[in-house]
Each structure stands twice: as C-alpha cells, then as structure tokens.
C-alpha cells in the first residue's frame, strides 16, 4: 500500500497533513500538483478534487483537504500492512 500526498506550495493543510504522517513514522510520496501537469489532471479529472492536499492511499481510499479522521484511518491501515 503506497501513500501519495498531492500538494501545492504554501498550503498549510498540506504541510500539516504530511507532518501527521511523518510523526507516525510514515514517509509519504509527495507530488507538487502545480509542477506536474499529469498529477493535476489526475486529482481534478479522475478523482474530482479541487482542494489540496489530495491524499491517495489506494484506489478506494482517498480524500482532499485536511481531514484528521481520514489521516488517522490511513495511519492505522498503513501500519497494519508493515
């Protein structure tokens, strides 16, 4: 199970989301959606999100924005795999 966080520069919710994962010992793959056109297309056109961060745990578990409940759920899921 891989964890990807799509971010944008200066985004406070992005920074806090990544910080929560790192505090839990999980290093997410970071993608700056403003620098990678394919990433922006993916999060807006495929996933339908318009707010950063966009967090993708897997095809069925993803969200946008600062969501502590989803962050905790993802941490539990990722820790149970390792």
What is the per-residue DSSP string for 54-80? EEEEETTEEEES--HHHHHHHHHHHHH
What is the structure's pLDDT at 68? 97
Contact between residue 33 and residue 7 where contact means Cβ atoms under 8 Å apart? yes
Give 24-75 pLDDT, tens digit per residue: 999 999 999 999 999 999 999 999 999 999 999 998 999 999 999 999 999 9
pTM of the model: 0.94
Domain ranges for the chain, please list them: 31-82
């Amino acid at each position: 199970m891989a964890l990807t966080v799509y971010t944008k520069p200066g985004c406070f919710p992005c920074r806090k989301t990544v910080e929560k994962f790192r505090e839990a010992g999980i290093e997410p793959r970071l993608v700056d959606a403003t620098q990678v056109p394919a990433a922006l297309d993916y999060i807006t056109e495929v996933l339908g999100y318009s707010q950063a961060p966009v967090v993708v745990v897997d095809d069925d578990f993803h969200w946008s924005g600062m969501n502590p409940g989803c962050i905790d759920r993802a941490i539990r899921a990722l820790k149970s795999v390792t």
